[in-house]
Structure 1
Amino acid sequence: MALKPPPIGDLLSQFKGLAEDSGLKQELDKNSKALMQTMLAKLDVVTREEFDAQCALLARAQQRIAELEAQIKLLEENG
Structure 2
Amino acid sequence: MLNPQQLFGLIQDQVNQVFPEFGKAAQDEMAGNLKLVITSVITKLDLVSRDEFDAQQAVLERTRMMLEKLEKTVAELEEKVSD
Structure 1 residue ranges without an equivalent (≥5) = 1-12
Structure number with greater CO (CA < 8 Å, separation at least 6) is 2
Q: TM-score, normalised by structure 1?
A: 0.73
State the distance in 2 between where 1:73 and 1:61 align.
18
Between Structure 1 and Structure 2, how many residues are aligned? 67
Q: 1:72: how far off?
A: 0.5
Map of 1:8 onto structure 2: none
Counterpart pick for 1:42 among 25, 41, 44: 44
State the distance in 1 between where 2:51 and 2:15 align.
34
Q: 1:25: how far off?
A: 1.2
Q: TM-score, normalised by structure 2?
A: 0.70
Higher share of residues assigned helix: 2
- How has the CA–CA distance of structure 1 residues 62 and 53 changed in structure 2, closer, same or farther, with 3 Å as cutoff? same
- How has the CA–CA distance of structure 1 residues 14 and 64 changed in structure 2, closer, same or farther, with 3 Å as cutoff? closer
Counterpart mapping for 1:5-24 below 5 A: 13=14, 17-18=18-19, 20-23=20-23, 24=26
Structure 2 residue ranges without an equivalent (≥5) = 1-13
Structure 1 runs, 4 residues or longer, greater than 6 Å off: none
Amino acid at match of 1:72: V
Root-mean-square deviation (CA, aligned residues, Å) is: 2.0
Q: 1:14: how far off?
A: 7.1
Amino acid at match of 1:78: K
Amino acid at match of 2:48: V
